[in-house]
Structure 1
Amino acid sequence: MSKTLKCISPINGSVYAERPVMAVPQAAEAVARARQAQKAWAQRPLEERVSLVKRGIQQLNQMGEEVVVELAHMMGRPVRYGGEFGGVNERTDYMAGIAERGLAPIVIEDSETFGRRIERVPHGVVFVIAPWNYPYMTAINTIVPALIAGNAVVVKHATQTLLVGERIARAFADSGFPEDLLINLFLDHEGSESLISANCFDFINFTGSVGGGRAIERAAAGTFTGLGLELGGKDPGYVMEDADLDWAVDVLMDGAMYNAGQCCCGIERIYVAEPLYDAFVEKAADWASKLKLGNPLEQATTLGPMANIRFAAEVRAQTREAVEAGAKALVDAALFPEDDGGAYLMPQVLVDVDHSMRVMRDESFGPVVGVMKVKDDAEALALMNDCQFGLTASLWTSDAERAYRIGQQIETGTVMQNRADYLDPALCWTGCKETGRGGALSEIGYHNLTRPKSYHLRRRQA
């Protein structure tokens, strides 16, 4: 009996979509076709590849109304936010615009005697294993530059957002994109690992949990397949005494609560200088209290359900443990009668927290944030680095030199000043420690999706 992948909607717990799991031999045949198609694709002029990829993204945009509603059903994001097309288009346009520069050869010598150069050549077949929290944008981070660079791409999405890869593949097919170059596979974990172990891919990009990253590494062991892994996060914000308080509250709280806190670079812990601490926590609690928890299909909803009941259960457990250990919850539960003990989870701001509590140490990935008072930069820096993850850090100060100086000492992938929860496609999206390795977007993204090939051409005897 064949297995079935089922997307359980967080709106009401019903089965929203289901697809049969593809058998491994059938999947391997599809990957082999992609490998064959890639050879001719890599020989096409760069400007032609760019044009065809952009046309595929334009076709995806035409599906906007359906996609936004599907996302609400699959993972709970309110329809009022309009899906992910802003980020998809921004990243596509930027990566298309820098393709010539990012893929340009390094010419060492071009003389009558020697031609010496390093070129960027595609890996071949790139496997994109995409998560459910931002299923379009995270996938596009790799799909677009990988295709532009001359690779074929195989996509596998999380079951929670089962239809996304199918949507992307259909959009490209409908746009006239060459057959077999971008394919979507419905695989379970075992199927994915089998294909990886069989050395079916030349590069793998995975966005997901630390446990998932370890499973990918184990499956790829001995194949020498390149890996890009973007895993867990516990991103800090630090509000200094010279920060614009209202601005900091608004951006940091949005970074903590948007998408029900289910953001890779969402703010999960905040450290505030003593002079601003009392005012900050008062304003932060007020900000969270004004959110509207409810059905994501309703325009008035600003906070939808978490994508899965078990995700909400973990956030509740971390919050409960913190309160039992002495933390204080500032948001009144009476304001959120929609919190049903299941996927619908109210926002929460915690004070009197410390790093002995899981809510300040483990990834929460939900609408809860802990706030601590700090006396100086040294204490804030020590607390920000007291973490096994390192994706982004958000620094709030009017002093750019101070932000840069502190940022140099933070163990993280990206440092932001007076901004949070934003991915700049011109900068390398990367992390350290248990957040993973590799880097997407920017020129470095092109370097990771290609390999260097050197040419030493002796044209004549010196």
Structure 2
Amino acid sequence: MSRPSAPRTRNSPRWSPTSNCAVSSNSPEPASMHSTELAFDIVSPVDGRKLATVPYAGAAETERALQRAQAAAPAWRGLALERRLAALEGFVVAMEARRAEFAERVLWQIGRPQQFADELGRVRARWDETRRLAPALLGEVELGPGDGIRRWLRREPKGVALGICAWNYPVAMAAEMATTALAAGNVFVLKHAPQTALIADLMADAADAAGLPDGVFQALHLSHSAVARLLSQRRFHAVQFIGSERGGREVLAAAGAGLVAAGLELGGKDAAYVRADADLDWTAQQLVEGAYSNSGQSCCSVERIYVERSVYPRFVDAFVDRARGLRLDHPLKSPDLGPVVSAAAAARIRDEVAAAIAAGARSAMPGHRAGELAGQGAYLSPDVLLDVDASMAIAREESFGPVVALAPVESDAQALAAINDSRFGLTASVWTRDLDAAAELVGAIEAGTVFVNRCDHADLYLPWGGTKASGLGRIGGNATFDEWTECKSVHVRAAGRS
């Protein structure tokens, strides 16, 4: 395969991360709040400094990129599967060679502590599983009763695929999108979240280093209006979106106008139910991690916890004790928690907590400061809310931050009703020693994934996706290629037979 003849993205903007641990208490709002149709700023939540100003792709640049993709599509689609997989192995290896650079960009663009900033382990594990599954899932499947007619199913690529990736796991999610779409025979355009646009540029560098053919993988910094226009004009044949419910609805509307196949992995208001027979100390430890890892900025973060009333006081004490032990600090100091993605996000979460308290909720950790930086810019201490009822916005809307609501319930039936009383349905978890009781709840919970004695985990071996407002479609497991392929039915009868 030849080296690319054209760049996969515009020249990456210069950026200068700093090891200075000072923090501005007046950190600017995130990139999306400092943008026009011409460019956007990337502002670090770590210290409020501008990392880069990134120009949006103009009409001419976008058209050139789409023409390169269209030109590359037939040869890439026609390449034998084993050769595509070998080329993509090279892409993943090139990303691994840039491990430190990816981790640095994660730390400064979203504020994740340095010991958690490397996502290449997840990239490797996911790619190895995708490569293992590809021959079986992309191969032909024979069907039929053996009546002399040959019938089979083929999986064929959709064509030019668009991936729109969220910022919260910016390397792992973008790499999974790209490698699965490409393995299926599509050519791929990545539009990353503005806050993590520099991740897309580094992925394009890795694609160049791996020698992927020109037009097969490209990164484009597209505006929202450009995405809507291109989807409605069917310049893409498939789109996979990871992000907010509002963003997903906008993508779906534009894709619908162009009859573009759309997969959506959206948000959640994920709930856990702790039964009286659970190991309370261990469960509290697990749920603290599930609620506050990545500063609560995961689509499957636990945001609601229902506890059987007989053990509710003991569980609250155990949970709050562990939450108080979390340390908030500058990401370079390896704390448990770093800042949330922006000062604006921190202010929004504080306002939601204040509104809940004004409506009758109470904090189990009033005045708690998890570190010296708490309250400055994007640095937000973890919180636990009690006496939250279903009428409060914080019980209904995705918080996407380090806050969780606890409430007692009288029975499995009441817990089930509370879990399902949400327009979201991404994940839920049940914590119990009674696996028979858990099995009954699993069957009734309205969610794409139900865990028993686990939470906040995207399993490598199972499909992932949500119900209700948490999304459309599935990725991963035996659904790895579903969003990126068309299923063609083939029916062959020998000539001259009746």
Q: Check whether TM > 0.5.
A: yes
Match of 2:391 in 1: 356
Aligned pair 1:93/2:128, yes or no?
yes
Instruction: Find the residue that maps to 1:135 and give its secondary structure.
Output: coil
Task: Provide Cα deviations, 1:339-375, integer angstroms capped at 9, x if missing partner.
Answer: 2253110000111111121111110000000000111
Query: Which AA in structure 1 matches 2:486?
Result: R
Moved over 4 A (4+): 109-113
Match of 1:54 in 2: 89
Instruction: Find the residue that maps to 2:428 and give its secondary structure.
Output: strand
Match of 2:461 in 1: 426
Task: Provide Cα deviations, 1:382-411, integer angstroms capped at 9, x if missing partner.
Answer: 000010101000111122222121011111
C-alpha distance in structure 1 between counterparts of 2:138 and 2:414, whole Å = 43
C-alpha distance in structure 1 between counterparts of 2:224 and 2:495, whole Å = 55
Equivalent residue runs for 1:159-238 within 5 Å: 159-238=194-273
Query: Which AA in structure 1 matches 2:343?
Result: I
Aligned pair 1:296/2:331, yes or no?
yes
Instruction: Find the residue that maps to 1:129 and give its secondary structure.
Output: strand
Instruction: Find the residue that maps to 2:257 and give its secondary structure.
Output: coil
Aligned pair 1:403/2:456, yes or no?
no
Shift in Å, 1:112: 10
| Contact 1:228-1:439 at 8 Å conserved across structures | yes
Task: Give unpaired runs (5+ residues) of structure 2.
Answer: 1-35
Please report the TM-score for the alignment, with normalisation by the length of structure 2.
0.89
| Contact 2:106-2:117 at 8 Å conserved across structures | no
C-alpha distance in structure 2 between counterparts of 1:2 and 1:223, whole Å = 22
Aligned pair 1:21/2:60, yes or no?
no
Instruction: Find the residue that maps to 2:163 and give its secondary structure.
Output: strand
Task: Give unpaired runs (5+ residues) of structure 1.
Answer: none
| Contact 1:53-1:144 at 8 Å conserved across structures | yes
Q: 2:350 aligns with which of 300, 304, 316?
A: 316
Please report the TM-score for the alignment, with normalisation by the length of structure 1.
0.96
Tell me how many residue pairs correspond in the alignment: 461
Q: 1:105 aligns with which of 127, 130, 140?
A: 140
Shift in Å, 1:235: 0.3
Aligned pair 1:242/2:277, yes or no?
yes
| Contact 1:80-1:302 at 8 Å conserved across structures | no
Query: Which AA in structure 2 matches 1:220?
Result: A
Task: Provide Cα deviations, 1:9-51, integer angstroms capped at 9, x if missing partner.
Answer: 1012111122211112321221221122121111111111112
Between 441-450 and 110-119, the greater mean CA deviation after superposition: 110-119
Shift in Å, 1:104: 2.2
Shift in Å, 1:449: 1.2
| Contact 1:42-1:122 at 8 Å conserved across structures | yes
Shift in Å, 1:86: 2.4
Query: Which AA in structure 2 matches 1:417?
Result: V
Query: Which AA in structure 2 matches 1:346?
Result: S
Match of 2:11 in 1: none
| Contact 2:48-2:377 at 8 Å conserved across structures | no
C-alpha distance in structure 2 between counterparts of 1:209 and 1:154, whole Å = 20
| Contact 1:289-1:332 at 8 Å conserved across structures | no
Instruction: Find the residue that maps to 1:333 and give its secondary structure.
Output: coil
C-alpha distance in structure 2 between counterparts of 1:341 and 1:325, whole Å = 26
RMSD: 1.7
Task: Provide Cα deviations, 1:94-121, integer angstroms capped at 9, x if missing partner.
Answer: 1111111111222125989543211010
Match of 2:150 in 1: 115
Task: Provide Cα deviations, 1:196-230, integer angstroms capped at 9, x if missing partner.
Answer: 12211010001111111121122223311000011
Instruction: Find the residue that maps to 1:415 and give its secondary structure.
Output: strand
Query: Which AA in structure 1 matches 2:475?
Result: A
